[in-house]
Structure 1
Amino acid sequence: MANSKQFNVGVVGYGMSAKVFHIPFIQATPSLKLHSILQRSPKPNDSAPADYPGLQHHTSLDSLLADSALDVVVLCTTPPTHFAFASQALEAGKHVFCEKPFVPTSAEAAALADLARAKGKLLCVYQNRRWDADFATVSQLLREGTLGRVVEFETHFDRYKMEHPTNWKGTVPMEEGGGAVYDLGTHLCDQVYTLFGLPRSVYAKFVSQRQGKFYPSSDGVDPDSLTAHLYYDNGLTAIVRIGVLSVETQQPRFWIRGSKGSYTKKGLDTQEPQIKAGMAITDAKFGREGPEWAGKLALLGEGNSVSQTDLPNVEPPPTYAKIYEGFAKALASGKEEDVPVPASQACDVLRIIEAVQESGKTGREVQISS
C-alpha cells in the first residue's frame, strides 16, 4: 500500500468500461490511487500511456501483477476472461473489483468467493446500477411502503439498435457470458434481487428481435432480447424485459403496481451519457435529470379515488461514486461484510440468470432453491 490511507489500483483493460465507469471514480475516491493500467495494444488514437503518462503501464497481466506496490486489480475485460484473471489476481495477493456480469456461472462465482476468503482478499462486483437515481427512488418507495404490498414489478432496458453489436456483447456466446441476459439482464436481475431476494421460480422467453426469430432456433441464433417472469412466494411477479427494437421518445424503465398505488418511470439514468459527453462527476448537474423525466406516482384515496402526481428522483441523487466509496471503506476495514456488492450476492444473481437461460431453452418454468 502506498501509505496508511491510500490503496494503489491497477485497471485491466482500456475500453469504454474503464474510461467511463471506473477511472473517473477511482480518481475521485481519496483513499484510492490510480497506479497502473494494462492495455495490451495501445494505438495512436487510443493509448493509455498517452492519456495517463504519469502512471505505470503494462501490456500483460503477469507484468501488472508482479508489481508489489499494487493493492487492487479492477477487471474491465470481457466476461470470458474474468474467472481466470480474477483467480490469477487473487493468487497474486491482490484485492479484486470485477466488472459485471462477473463470471458466466454461479459455480465459478462461488469458487472465486472461496478463493478470496482463502487468500484473505476482498472481491467486489461492479453492479453500479444499484446507484441509479431512479432505482434509489424505487427503493425508497418500497422501503416506506408508499405503494402498499407490491404485486407486480416490471423493469425494462429497451433501446432501438438495429445494428448487431460487434464487441463482446454481440460476439461472445450466451453460455460464455455474452448476449442480452449477461450484458443488460444482469443489471435488471440484480436490481430485482436487491429489492426482493431470490425468486421461487422463473419463466423466460428469448428472441432475436433483429432477425425475427425465437430462441432456441435451428440456425443457432443468439438472442438479443428477452422477457422473464420471476415469481415469489408472496404473490409478487417481477418482469424483466430487454428489447432492441423499441421506438419511443421516452423508453419505459419501471412500472410497479401495489395495493395502495403505482409508479411508472421512463428514461435511463443520466450518469453514463453525462460522462460520455464530458461532464465531470463533481458537476452539480451530475446524476440529475430534467423535470420532464419525473416519474408518475398514482395513489389510492378515499372511495377508491386515484390521484396522480409527478415524482422526481430522490435528492441528492446517488452516483456510481458510492460503489467505489463503499469498496474503499471495505479495503480500509478489511471486512467482507463492508464490500458493497460481495461475490455471494453476485452468485445469487447468476443463479437467477442460469434459471432464465434454462427456462428460455426448455420452455419450462424453472425452480430456484433457497
Structure 2
Amino acid sequence: MSRRLSMAALAAGPLLLAGCATGETEVPVAMRIANATPAVSVTARGETTPVGTPNADAADDPAIWRNAADPLKSLIVGTDKKAGLYVYGIDGQARDFLDAGRVNNVDLKDGVAISGTTGILVAASDRNDIAHAKIALFRLDPATAKLTALGKLDGGAGEAYGICLGRDEAGLSAFIVLKDGTIHQVLIDASGAAPTGRIVRTMKLGTQSEGCAVDDRTHILYVAEEDVGLWRFDARATGSTTPTKIAAADGRNLVPDAEGVAIAPIGAKDGYVLVSSQGDNAYVVYRLRDDSYVGRFRVVDGTIGGSKETDGIELMLGDFGPAYPGGLFIAQDGHNAAAAQNFKLVAWDDIVKALGPK
C-alpha cells in the first residue's frame, strides 16, 4: 500500500497537498475526486474497536466467518500489521488478539482438514522477515473466538504483502502476493500434525500489488496492481499464468492506489468484484460475468464515522443478523478520527440500494 495522503493532511482539509514517503508532491484529494466518476454514499452500521497500535498505519485487512446457524455469532478476523491478529464479534467488539508480529493481509476458509479434524483455517501474509515471505497459518475456534498458531509456510524470496485462499481440484491454495508484484500459488496440506506447503506456480505483475480474492466457482484469481489496475488470472494450479486486465487505474472509475479486493458471488457465475479506490476514498464495483463497470460508492460519516484511505476490504453475502440481513461489507478505515485505525461494517443491502438497479 502506498499512502497518497497523510492522515494529518486529510484531517486538515482536502485541498492540502501532502508528500509521500519519497517526499514527492501528491495530487490533492479534491482534485482526484473532481476527476473521478461520481460515487454514491452509504453509511456504516457498525465498526470494530480500534487496533492496539496507536498513531500508525496499522489496521489493514479483514476476513469474515459466517455462522449460518446463528448469524449473530459470526466472527471477523483483522490484522494489526504492526502487531498481530484480532478476532471481533459481529458487534465489533474484540474477542481475541494473537501476537503474530507483522502480518499484513488475512483470509480464511471453513471446512478445511486441520490436524485430523475439520475446521476454520486462517492464513496471513507474514512479513516479519522482509527478505523472505512466509504464510502464517492459524486455526479459528468459532466457539471461543480464539486463534491458535499452526505454523508457517515458505512464501518465496521477497516481502509478503497480500494473501487470499482458493480451492480447486488440486486442493487448497494460498496465493501470496509479494510487494514487487510476484504471486506464488502455494498448495497447502494442514491435515497432519504440522501444515505443509509447496509453491506450485508463479505469476507476475509489473509493479507493487497487494489485494486479491479468488472466486472458487469459476477458479478466477483477482489481483489489484496498485498504480495500474485490476487483473484476473486462472486460479487453477494447472492454469495459464497470463493475466487479463479488467480495469485500469485511470483516475476515473478506479483511482490509484487500487488496494483491497473482495467478491460477491451470485448464482453459478454472476456477482460482483469490488476494489478499494484508495486515491479518492471510494470503492468500485464490477460485474463478474463480463468484467463490466457497475458503479462506485463511498462510506461517509453518519452515526458512525466513514472510511478513508482504505487498504483491505471484505464482503460476504448472507444473513448476519438484523443489521446486515443480506450481507456484510467491511472496509479498513485509515483515518479513524482521533483513535487508532479500525474497520467499518456496512450492510450490503445499503450498497445495493444506493447503487440502484443494475
TM value normalised by structure 2: 0.28
Q: Which has the higher helix share?
A: 1
Q: Which has the higher strand share?
A: 2
Q: Give the greater-gyration-radius structure (CA).
A: 1
Q: Point out which structure has higher relative CO (alpha carbons under 8 A, 6+ apart).
A: 1
